Structure 1
Amino acid sequence: MTVDVWMQHPTPRFLANDMLASLRRWTGGAMPVDDIPIDVTLASMDAADVEVGLLSAWRGPNGLDLVSNDEVAGWVAAHPNRFAGVATVDLDRPMEAVRELRRRVDEGFVALRVVPWLWRLPPTDRRYYPLFAACVDLGVPFCTQVGHTGPLRPSETGRPIPYIDEVALDFPELVMVCGHVGYPWTEEMVAVARKHPNVYIDTSAYTTKRLPAELVAFMKTSTGQRKVLFGSNYPMIGHTHALDGLEDLGLSAQARDDYLHGNARRVFTNLEGGRP
């Protein structure tokens, strides 16, 4: 059993956005222009024995709507045993954002994700703080991106220190899942995850063979074994490609199980109930 904690079913709006020009470069420029059936995403998961995927919505400033909460809710409703929803919100409207988060969690969404580079606002910006309090109150994780940006936007907002470290100090009860491993600041990300009990790392945007050595070493420690979760960043990386080379990491059987699904089920507590 495998749980993918960072993936999205791509809409044409998502794939065509100019910020993702790097994605078009990686894939040879061939981008679909029509809606992609959800079965395409399920087939990628099935090929790698990924049983559950956390589908994220994407929203940015000035009405930028790349994958809506409503679209995610529809895909989850159609396949409730395969998907769980990760909500997005409008940071520029803090009270609307809190209400939207509460509404979506009431509907079954399991987390909130905000991608700082999309907003050009680090997680210490005051607009995040009402959402952090709501996440704690609702018992759902805050998911975010750390490290440099593949998309053509500045990377500064992805630094684990000071941003993730300071948020964890201000909100020690807030569960944070930090995607994309933090490269080139992976050592900082590992240090922050080791320091704060509720800070976790997911491996999205990196294939198994490209995981930084310092992260793999952390996964083999008693602390790190419980701190790292599998994520693919599908459709940028297919599931089979993301997991290729897993046996070569040298993880114990328990560490492998924790990485692939155990940690995800402990962190995203609402995955329980109706899902495999």
Structure 2
Amino acid sequence: MTDEIIDVWMQQPNQRFMAQPWLESLLRWTGMERTAPPLPATLGAMDEAGVRVGLVSAWHGPNGVLISNDEVAGLVAGHPDRFAGVATVDLTDPVGAVREIRRCVRDLGFVGVRVVPWLWNLPPNDRRYYPAYVACVEEDVPFCTQIGHTGPLCPSEPGRPIPYLDEVLLDFPQLVVIGGHVGYPWLPEVLSLARKYPNFHIDTSAYAVHRLPPELVEYMRGRGRTRVLFGSNYPMVTPAQCLKRLDDLGLGAEARELFLGGNARRVFSLPV
């Protein structure tokens, strides 16, 4: 594959992350072990699919840090040509969250912020997110979130796009938001937000591309070609598994290039 590929949803888990009880359903579906993949395996999975750059996220939940921002920073520092960092924050510490976003962007060079609503069981219009949104706008980085149902055995309702994300996009017209994991079973709501708000984007993480909903593929082929980004959700799904039947999408040359890397490079302001 000769296309430049940027994977916008990855994580390099540690054993603390892999020990979480909510991973049980994902481990059952994927056949993964509760063992963190070594870094060479991650790089090998990227190389297998031709992924040039992976956006690797930290994780923080109500019970504390799972993958710290500093762990991600160390990974990026060791392989700056292969990884870019996505920060996370503690929603219960709004002032600390703002300071942490500033530190991660200004000092560590992170390119985005991610908070997963199902992990907190808080929809994105909850007041505890709002300081982080302001910091993202001020630091000019996207806010990444999860939309749709959850693979982990946690409530899916926080991932419903309307009314929760709709209200955020109304309140913060300058905030760039990327909704990961496609948004099933609420695809009409997802696509309505994408048509309504120019700063809302979708990433295809957790889906093999041949399993993407037909209405999303149609959107990618046409007016939505600048609004959909490739993501894998590695290590739960590898980039190669996601892209195995890429040609089945029937994307034109421009739409394919934008989906695989061009949109991510623009939205996350990645260096050329």
TM-score, structure 2 normalization: 0.96
* 1:85 matched residue in structure 2: 85
Paired with 2:251 and 2:139, the residues of 1 have a C-alpha distance of 34
Confirm or deny: 8 A CA contact 2:58 2:86 kept in the other structure: yes
Provide the residue aligned with 1:3 in structure 2. 6
Q: Which amino acid aligns with 1:172?
A: P
Shift of 1:74: 0.6
Give the aligned partner of residue 96 of structure 1.
Answer: 96
In structure 2, give the amino acid aligned to 1:75.
L
Match of 2:51 in 1: 50
Is 1:182 aligned to 2:183, yes or no? yes
CA apart distance, 1:68: 1.0
Partner SS, residue 226 of structure 1: coil
Q: Distance in 2 between matches of 1:116 and 1:29?
A: 24
Paired letter, 2:238: G
* SS state at 1:178 partner: strand
- What is the RMSD computed on CA atoms of the aligned residues? 1.0
In structure 2, the residue matched to 1:120 is 121
Look up the match of 2:72.
72
- What is the percent sequence identity of the aligned residues? 63
Q: For the residues of structure 1 that align with 2:242 and 2:16, how far apart are their CA atoms?
A: 24
Cα distance in 1 for residues equivalent to 2:51 and 2:213: 23
Shift of 1:29: 5.8
Deviations 1:99-137 (A, max 9, x none): 011000011000000000101111100111111111011
Residue-by-residue CA offset, 1:216-250 (whole Å, 9 max, x unaligned): 0110112x000000000000101110111111101
Find the residue that maps to 1:225 and give its secondary structure.
coil
* Residue in structure 2 matched with residue 12 of structure 1 by the alignment: 15
How far did 1:27 drift?
Answer: 3.2
Supply the distance in 2 between the matched residues of 1:36 and 1:3 (Cα, whole angstroms): 20
**Match in the other structure for 2:257:** 257
Q: What letter corresponds to residue 250 of structure 1 in structure 2?
A: G
Deviations 1:55-113 (CA, angstroms, capped at 9, x unpaired): 000110132x2211111001000000000000010000000011011000011000000
Between stretches 112-121 and 8-17, larger displacement belongs to 8-17
Structure 2 residue 25 is matched with structure 1 residue 22: yes
Taking the aligned partners of 1:268 and 1:58, their CA distance within structure 2 comes to 19
Q: TM-score, normalised by structure 1?
A: 0.95
AA of the residue aligned to 1:20: L
Which position in structure 2 is the counterpart of 1:228? 228
The gaps in structure 1 that reach 5 residues or longer are: none
1:66 and 1:8 mapped to 2: Cα distance? 11
In structure 2, runs of 5+ residues without a counterpart are none
Q: Which residue of 1 aligns with 2:156?
A: 155
Distance 2:86 2:33 in 1: 27
Match of 1:109 in 2: 110
